[in-house]
Amino acid sequence: MTDPSALQIQRAVQLAKPPRVRKLVPILRMLLLHIVLVPTSLAYLPYALVRALVPFLRPARGWTAKQTLSVLYTRLAMELFVITKFQPVAPREGGWRETPGLIGGLLSLLNYTGPGGRVAHPRTALKAAMLPQHDEKKRGDRVWFGAPPLEYFRGILSINPTGRDGQGQVTDSDNYRGAPLVRPGEAKIRTRAFWFMPGGPKEHAPLPHREKGQDRQVILFFHGGAGVTFSAGDMFMGLTLARNLAQTSGFPVFSVDYHLAPFGRFPVPLIQCVSAYVHLTRDLGFRGDQIIVAGDSNGSHLALQIERFLRLEGAKIPSHQAQRQRGEPDFAAMLLLSPWLVATNDMMPERETNLKYDIVPRTYGDWGVKEMQFGPSRRTGMQLDDPWISPLLRPVEEVAQMPPTYIANGQLEVLVEEGKRFAAKCKQAGLITRYHVTPLEPHDFFCLAASLPNAKKVYKDFATWARHDVLAKAGYKV
């Protein structure tokens, strides 16, 4: 197939419909999870209690009984997620789960997502779901936005107008030469995101609006979950992580609820990340020097993908060129929490060392890689050591071009070694970097309520570093 013309692509996108959200299979898996989870959790309780209450039976010396129970039960849930292939049903704009009221709240709770567009603890979820959607005084926190303009669909985001995998080859990019990966309908996907504002629940910090102007930084955040589970509005990624990150750091957090694979296979989540960036810059008027890109686990992988995409392709995107000409960077800084930096366990055997302490089973990341369709396939022809898939393998010369980066790991997580190596590569490249390791914590402890005090210490340290060592020294208004 010859290279498609811009007119062919534009026509194909105009005629295409966005992918339809799959419901039946995810709903059946959701029901299966609940059927299995309740009796399994009860049967597991005596074993977990004994290990938690007897100090020498705890997986790690220094753990408290509370932390032991937290890790053991989280790992059990993660194992059941893998077995049942559970993942939240993708949100649908205007759907039942998006409406305030009892039905929206109940459906969202069963689906492990933010009830009715509101992020709240399960104890108060139904009450929160009854609140008006967009009443700022009551902290309406959800927004939907469209796909980026077609000029952004180039390189790794090139569109195949036929919609058939593996046809053609991208020739106008220096960083990707495989087949076009984006189907025409995927260029029309709308995306949901949540705002988490600084301050306590009684302060009701106003949501950003373009007409009011932007005078502060914002964190563009992507949640974790191996690309196959969790959501921006659930009690783990939303409540425990994003809300506390906003309140502790003082930066508003804009958390993107990207589609999960296989419905949102690679590079669909990257399209949605770019959509969120365009929404912040074009719709709300944030400058690049006001945006901190961040993520946890797989979300860190996405943060690194969008940083690479805008850095390598931004100069060829007309509207993005204008931003560059004004002297604005793509991002002011980057925050990587428990980053996933290498595709498979085989590529990083050091992961085996901490498996006995961690919340993630060995098969969890493999599930994500398979469903996202990373690596050699008819679609991409990419190898697992490609820097798009394994950011740890970026050359030092490229790492030197990244924004100042803060990296945080738990001492006992499976991904700690790749975090250390990436931090070392950042410092070798002369990049402004801070690396923080929290003792005795597992992977993505930022999502665990029992580890919240340690997570908040990381957020405070990051905020101090960002304001004083990065933003102020660069001359940005803080």
Give the domains, in start order, of the chain with CATH numbers: 24-88 (no CATH), 141-471 (3.40.50.1820)
Per-residue model confidence (pLDDT) at position 127: 59
Task: Say if residue 19 is preceded by a cis peptide, omega within 30 of 0.
Answer: no
- The pTM assigned to this predicted structure is 0.93
User: Residues 53, 69: contact at Cβ < 8 Å?
Assistant: no
Residues forming a β-bridge with 220: 254, 293
% of the chain surpassing 70 pLDDT: 88
Pairing mode of beta strands 253-257, 218-222: parallel
Q: Which of 124-133, 186-195, 218-227, 314-323 has the weakest average pLDDT?
A: 124-133
Per-residue model confidence (pLDDT) at position 133: 45
Predicted confidence band of residue 205 (pLDDT cuts 50, 70, 90): low
pLDDT, mean of residues 82-86: 94
